Every structure is written in structure tokens, then in C-alpha cells.
Amino acid sequence: MSRSVIPLHEPDGFITLICAYLNWMRVHNYAHSSVDRADLMLRKFTAWCGERGITRPKDVSRRVLERYQQWIYAYRTPEGRPYKMSTQANHLTHVCGLFRWLTKQRLLVINPASELELPKKERHLPHHVLTASKMKQVLSQPDLTKPVGLRDRAILETFYVTGIRRQELANLKVYDLYMEQETLIVRQGKGMKDRVVPIGKSALQWISLYLQTGRPFLIGDIDEGLLFVSKSGRPLSIEYLSTLARKYLKAAGIKAGACHLFRHTAATLMLENGADIRYIQQMLGHAKLETTQIYTEVSIKALKDVHRRTHPAG
């Protein structure tokens, strides 16, 4: 959609006020990814409004927002697929955030989005998790005769042992690793929070080997201190990490999954082996316990044991 239909000069127009809102988010230390996502979602909403002659937030009513919600619901991607309910909700959440801010700043008298009912997000279980033996097959796939292979083995081990997110792994610095304490620090993870995560001896051994005989061949002239780097010594993108994880999973005969599969597997196996769910919540960096509780539904080991002992046909 083109934004050319929207007058840029209006002090109370969408462009001016959205720029102010995004700047407010930056000043209040919202994650760069959150600001970028809000920018993208609000661009789409602004363009939709512009095509209908609506150029200022004060001209938006609840009815307009309901029409936009219906448009988002009916929208189809270039591949002909509708948005997931979670994606629809995300679009509307950012629009609601804008109008909530405008009202708090007294740039609007009434918040037209205050009573907008968002669609309920789907609640999906992880598609599958791996057994410990299957995970060992995945971990054994990298070619350890090459520096990149040593790096990849260390990356896979770190994903599996710590359950950290791909962006968190990409941001790790060498000094975030504490060998003697067997911990690493995730700095400014999701929600802009730091946390300390345990990391086992196996992962530490592979990281140590990578630091000694792998990373020195990968870093360039300028060492920025990142733990894991590309062949040219540059930071790893989250897209690259997904491709890397998918490559080794497929090599082990696993057709679906990427970085998050390591996270799901780590949490589920720990739960099945008796870990308290609150410790898993702390390790994964979940703000809410209910986010972690999804793993109690994936972990079926205890239920199978009870079923076997108590069901007459078991």
C-alpha cells in the first residue's frame, strides 16, 4: 500500500503522531524489535485509513476500527492464506497501543479503541519434541574437522542445554560465559530483562574447544567480542540460525522444526525428569507462568505412567 495519499504536513496527522509515539517507545526503552513491529503494523493501518480518506487519528471512531478488524480478518497473503488469529490480534494490539498513548498524552479526548474486542489467539502445543537419544543424533551432525563445524556443535549444544532464544544466542558475548560457575548471562532478553542461565558441562566443553580451535579462524580483523560469529567474523542473524538448526535437524531425519525445537525439547525433558515448572519458567525467561505451563501438556510421561497403572485396559 502507498502512503502518498496521507498529507505529511499535518501536525495532528497520522505520520506526525505515529513518529512521536514510536519515539516515545524508544525513549522508554522498548526493544528495537518491538518498535520495528509497531512501525510495520501502524504503517499498514495508516495506509488503510488513507485509502478511505482518514488522515488523522481524531477522525477514527470505534466503527472505523471495527471495519479495519473485519478487513484484517478477510485479508489474504500473496499465497492466498488468511492471517492467523494471533497475527490479527497483533495488528490490532499495536493500533490499540497507539490510541491508548494518544489518549494518555491528551491528544485525543476519547480512546476509540478502549472497548475494541480483540480476537482470541490460538493456543497451540509445540508440534513435537525430541527424545534425548534423538537429540544426540542431531548434535552429532556437524563436521568437527572444520572451524564452522566446531562452532555449529557449540551452538546446538548451547540451544539444547540452556533453552535460550535464537536472538539471545546471537547476542551472547564471550564475557557472558562463566566457565567455573557453569552459567551464562542472557543480557536484555525478551522484555529487556537480564537473566542467569545454567549451562552444563557438555556444552561448556564444546564451547571451550570452539573458543580454542574454531573461533580464532573465524573472527576478522576487528573482534567485537561476540561468542558465535559467521565465517567472516560478523554477527549471526536469527534467520541464519534458523537455517543452521533446520539443516542439522533434517540431516538427523527430522523434517520439521528449527531453533525453537531445542527450546521445547529442553523444557519438556527437564519437566519429565522432575524439574519444578517455576525453575523452567526462570530458565526460559517467561514473564508469566501460564506460558511455561504449556509444557505440562506436552510432557505426557507422567500421564502415561498413571494410565498404565490405573486403566483396566492399560
The H or E element spanning position 18 is helix 14-27
Say whether 165 is catalytic.
Answer: yes
The CA distance from 199 to 179, in Å, is: 9
Catalytic residue among 190, 234, 246, 250: 190
**Torsion sign over Cα 144, 145, 149, 155:** positive
Q: Which residue has the cell 515448572?
A: 277
* Sign, CA torsion 277/280/284/285: positive
* 260 assigned to active site: yes
Given the residues 91, 151, 165, 264, select the one marked as catalytic: 165
Other C-beta atoms lying within 10 Å of the C-beta of residue 198? 13
Query: Considering 94, 151, 215, 286, which one is annotated as catalytic?
Result: 286
Residue of 56, 100, 234, 260 with catalytic role = 260
263: annotated active-site residue: yes
Site of grid cell 478477510: 74
The 3-class secondary structure across 132-161, one letter per residue, is HHHHHHHHCCCCCCCHHHHHHHHHHHHHHH
Q: Among residues 94, 195, 263, 264, which one is catalytic?
A: 263
Whether 307 is catalytic: no
Does 128 participate in catalysis according to the annotation? Answer: no
232 to each of 147, 148, 229, how far by Cα in Å?
12, 11, 8
Active centre residues (catalytic): 165, 190, 260, 263, 286, 295
